[in-house]
Amino acid sequence: KIQERLIKQFHYTAWPDHGVPSSPSSLLNFVRKSSAANPPNAGPMVVHCSAGVGRTGTYIVIDTQLERIAKRKTVDVFGNVQKLRNQRLLMVQVEDQYIFIHSVLLEAINSGDTEIQVEDFPEQMREIMDVNPETGVPRVEEEFQRLGRSVVPPALFKAANMNCNKQKNRYANVLPYDESRVKLSLIPGVEGSDYINANYVDGYMKKKAFIATQAPIPDTIADFWRMVWQECSLTIVMLSNEMESGRIKVHRYWPNKAPAVIGDLMVELMSEQKFEEYMLREFKLTNTKEKASHVIRQYHYNCWPDVGSPSSGAGMIDLIGQVQRWQQQSGNKIVTVHCSAGVGRTGVFCALSNLIERLKTEHVIDVFQTVKMLRQKRPAMVQTKEQYEFCYNTLQEYLDSFDLYANFT
């Protein structure tokens, strides 16, 4: 008789060739997910890397210690590694891996398990929005505050703080991490010509799915379009109005009628359509030197109030859907997202895009970890408690739009 078994393979793809992953949360989420998928009546999990000692040992120690933390509220990494090495030589091969285990466990202790199954979301949502009787503070606010205590790589902003680049930053306190910043092609003889206040941000299904950037200021409009061309971005999402509360939030970086020539690039407004909550503009971007053109769509969401967050998430859900449909038509290139500073509303858009994608695929929601992963690529993503709460409320609206939660896909 032929026997069949279903085998699940979880393949972690974010481990760099050298060193350890940049994000403890990334590996923590992976260990939790893969370990939970192994049923109690199954045989042992098979874990491998290349030699089966360094990364393999790291995974096993993290998994073992997470179980120990849950049951005994204690940690013993040293004893765990020692025991493993008695069973297989060189387990947890290098010091960086040993240190990284501690970072992952610290992340687990500080953050807790914030993943919610979709069927539990309505009840969990009510609990999160309630006031914690012990502290008198809403739990959603406590969760947002915990984001600031999370373990993140050292914040390095060397490029942003170079004298030749300081004036290119719209806000002196919103700067891009060096590690994930978008680097423009250098213009020979022009110091700092590779700098723009922008970071690559990962999507749910794809690394570098987004560029999170500030709205260009007059001196950086040329850099903005250079970036759009260089990165082959065919979608721009704009989440601020030009004027808000009597202050300039976005300097207009596109032409009205006559084409604008910016260095080797020519930008031409082809069409403009007004929808209920956003404007859709279509541009033709031509590189006169290369004699090539791209059609670029700008989705300008214009219903974000000057203070706080939108009262309903329906417009944002629609916007994300429209962007995804255009992305599928145009080849899923990187999406350029900006508000004014490129962190608050920009973070909300990126977070909700990733949360909805994961919701469709895995039927789980984890607002905390999603926002934290964004913040490891660009600081202050989802900047305020109101924006963080808006993410939860929008997901609730998204699920409420289906008759049964099980049918939301």
Q: Is 49 a catalytic residue?
A: yes
End-to-end CA distance of the chain: 37
Q: Which of 152, 210, 146, 225 is nearest to 353 (CA)?
A: 210
Within 10 Å of residue 162's Cβ, how many Cβ atoms? 13
Amino acid in position 235: T
Within 10 Å of residue 224's Cβ, how many Cβ atoms? 24
Catalytic, out of 164, 232, 339, 391: 339
Amino acid in position 394: T
Q: Is 339 a catalytic residue?
A: yes
> In the structure, how many helices (H) and strands (E) does the chain have?
11, 14
- What are the strands, taking DSSP E only, across 275-345? 278-287, 292-301, 335-338
Report how far residue 133's alpha carbon sits from residue 55's, in angstroms, rounded to the nearest whole number.
42
Report how far residue 202's alpha carbon sits from residue 333's, in angstroms, rounded to the nearest whole number.
13
Show the tokens assigned to 129: 């929005």
Show the tokens assigned to 150: 């999370």
Cβ atoms of 392 and 125 within 8 Å: the answer is: yes
Within 10 Å of residue 311's Cβ, how many Cβ atoms? 11
Show the tokens assigned to 218: 């007059």
- ∠ CA 199-203-207, rounded to 5°: 70
Cβ atoms of 360 and 236 within 8 Å: the answer is: no
Secondary structure (3-state) at 25: helix
Cβ atoms of 286 and 265 within 8 Å: the answer is: yes
Exposed/middle/buried for 26, CB within 10 Å: 0-12, 13-18, 19+?
Answer: buried
Q: How would you classify the pairing of strands 243-244 and 247-248?
A: antiparallel
Report how far residue 61's alpha carbon sits from residue 89's, in angstroms, rounded to the nearest whole number.
14
How many residues are listed for the chain in this entry? 409
- The residues carrying an active-site annotation are 49, 339
